[in-house]
Amino acid sequence: MEKPLEYLKGCMKPDQYEKLAALNNSKLNEFIADSVQLCTPDDVHLCDGSKNEYDTTMAAMVEEGLATDLKARENCFHFRSDPSDVARVEGRTYIACENESDAGPTNNWIHPDELKGTMRDLYNGCMKGRTLFVIPFSMGPIGSPISKIGFEITDSGYVVCNMHIMTRVGDEVLETLGQGDFIPCLHSVGKPLAEGESDNGQWPCAPVDKKYISHFTEEQKIWSFGSGYGGNALLGKKCLALRIASVMAKKEGWMAEHMLILRLTNPEGKKFHIAAAFPSACGKTNLAMLESTVEGWKVECVGDDIAWMKMEDNGQLRAINPESGFFGVAPGTNSKTNPMAVKSCEKNSIFTNCVVTDDGDVWWEDGDGECKHGIDWKGREWTPDSGEKGAHPNARFTAPAAQCPTICPDWEDPAGVPIDIFIFGGRRSELVPLVTEAMDWDHGVYMGATAASEKTAAALDSGVAIRRDPFAMLPFCAYHMADYWQHWFDMGDKLGNKAPKIFYVNWFQKNEKGKFIWPGFGENSRVLKWMCERVDGKAGAYDTAIGKMPKKEDLDLDGIDLTDEEMDKILSVDTEGWKKELPIVREFFETMGDKLPDRMVAQVDRLEERLGK
């Protein structure tokens, strides 16, 4: 297209066109014009991020029957999805780069030319009958040296409203961008509307074999087709903030990680900042919004899901939360498991695939209270005797992070917060102790690379007994996992003696009756306290074959109802069990081929020596 700006003049409202003309960003004009020409929408709207825009978009969806106004909650709405469109579809998530070896063995690879051909055919005319929204958004505080700007084009009002909550949207992003670069993101639900047709109360989507969530890593752009669900459609989230960002981070020398960020302040007022990575269903969100049970120690949430970290000139690693909202799993969230999450979504929130109660509220399994009658996530009448769950197991809430009662006052500091500690973890009923400190940075990288969990309802491959999820990044690292591990080794070399300490935790050991031994939730603050005191040089630890560990007396256990025998069990090292683990780890590492770092092999060899053959 020779003159994209002139083409757009005939497609857009004059005031919105004038914004683009004043900006004069040729890449942006070309991206929008090409998308309009390809997708043929009925209307084009450049989002300004205003409350009026959010309210107008939501009201239109309520009128269409796509959204339900929840009268029992202030400014809250509920959506139901098509039953085939309820979660990330890893089997339809692709990495497109010139060489398959760059994508590695953990990703689905397609050559960019082939994928573009397939998807352009699908996009052709896909927005007929709909509005094409252009969403300017910032991942991270606008103007932060760690933040990135993206533009998502979508035909989904649900996406527009969720992006309002999950990212910083609007005119300020345009002003900050100027003629600079951005990550282009194109999304469509994949179903054009015939004249007079409606979506029948559920957002539309394409059949599974027509869904594509595609990442062009060398061009740093994202194309998504056929799904309206969270991570497949809110392209700032996993697609940009992890997959594309992971490639950018390696190239530019920073870190994009699937990590929560929290601040822990001791009674003397000293602040510690922790970034932690856990596979699905291992308590990540609960830890991010932890309420401390240790007197005088205060926990504040910086972010619940993603951390972007850059090293300052003085060697300090600083992190931002690139998101501005929480996209949390509703079932299992209640006033005991995560009271801060419950309070965060009391107002100004979006709910997806829950039960809508008769009094205009939402309900889900293992939540607060009871529901005797409502409309389930499939739009059917529901009671506890219906024989099926009322809410989908992956039902979600989208809530502004600023509404979290424990949100850190510095959570939007453009400079980020200094990271003192990294934590990795998994869900293991035996073998893995409550907490272990890495012997050094390389040993910590090994811990992250071998992170694993027993099967959970959240794991797509639930037939696997132990699922390896290195750094909790298995579905999200958009290049060869072994190169990602090498990047961690390289970052440690750059950070030197300012590198954060690394720990591994397991809250989930069980006794002979199958019950969890460690009480978890707020009591996890006792373990975090020990970590902070290790950073300060104030807490003891002793060397074991698998790392440094606390003795019972090193942990603050005042008021906790555990016997000496129970503490001994969760703080013990099962040498024979770890020996059995070694060949499994070696087999896993072999899947990385000749890119496996020598430093990683050395870690396995050293562990074997410490365990004794």
- The answer to whether 521 is annotated as binding is yes
- The answer to whether 324 is annotated as binding is no
Separation of alpha carbons 243 and 257, rounded Å: 10
Separation of alpha carbons 606 and 612, rounded Å: 10
- The answer to whether 229 is annotated as binding is yes
**Where do we find the tokens 């600079």?**
180
Report the SS3 class of residue 62.
helix
- The answer to whether 282 is annotated as binding is yes
Q: What is the 3-state secondary structure (H, E, C) of 404-461?
A: CCCECCCCCCCCCEECCEEEEECCCCCCCCCEEECCCHHHHHHHHHCCEEECCCCCCC
What's the Rg (C-alpha) of the chain?
Answer: 24
Residues with Cβ within 8 Å of residue 197, at least 6 apart in sequence: 129
- The answer to whether 427 is annotated as binding is yes
Q: Measured between alpha carbons, how far is residue 377 from residues 134, 212, 349, 356 in Å? A: 29, 24, 17, 8
Catalytic residue among 47, 239, 282, 301: 282
- The answer to whether 310 is annotated as binding is no
Q: What is the 3-state secondary structure (H, E, C) of 207-247?
A: CHHHCEEEEECCCCEEEEECCCCHHHHCCHHHHHHHHHHHH
- The answer to whether 428 is annotated as binding is no
Report the SS3 class of residue 308.
strand
Kindly compute the dihedral angle of the four CA atoms of residues 367, 368, 373, 379, in this order, to the nearest 10 degrees. Answer: -40
- The answer to whether 523 is annotated as binding is yes
Token duo for residue 223: 């194309």
Q: What is 510-545 written as a DSSP string?
A: B-TTS-BSS--GGGHHHHHHHHHHHHTT-S--EEET
- The answer to whether 280 is annotated as binding is yes
Cα of 135 vs its chain's centroid, Å? 20
**Where do we find the tokens 């309802």?**
457
- The answer to whether 478 is annotated as binding is no
Token duo for residue 527: 């373990």
- The answer to whether 31 is annotated as binding is no
CA neighbor of 503 nearest in space, from 452, 539, 547: 547
Annotation says 345 is catalytic: no
- The answer to whether 284 is annotated as binding is yes
- The answer to whether 24 is annotated as binding is no
Kindly compute the dihedral angle of the four CA atoms of residues 173, 176, 181, 186, in this order, to the nearest 10 degrees. Answer: 10
- The answer to whether 278 is annotated as binding is no
- The answer to whether 482 is annotated as binding is no
- The answer to whether 515 is annotated as binding is no
Helix (H) or strand (E) holding 36: helix 26-39
Report the SS3 class of residue 576.
helix
Beta strands 325-329 and 396-400: pairing type? antiparallel
- The answer to whether 231 is annotated as binding is yes
Q: Where is the binding site for Mn(2+), in residues?
A: 238, 258, 305
Give the residue numbers of the binding site: 88, 229-231, 238, 258, 280-286, 305, 394-396, 427, 521-524
Give binding residues for GTP as ranges: 281-286, 396, 427, 521-524
Q: Supply the residues annotated as catalytic.
A: 282
Question: Which parts are annotated binding residues for substrate?
Answer: 88, 229-231, 280, 394-396
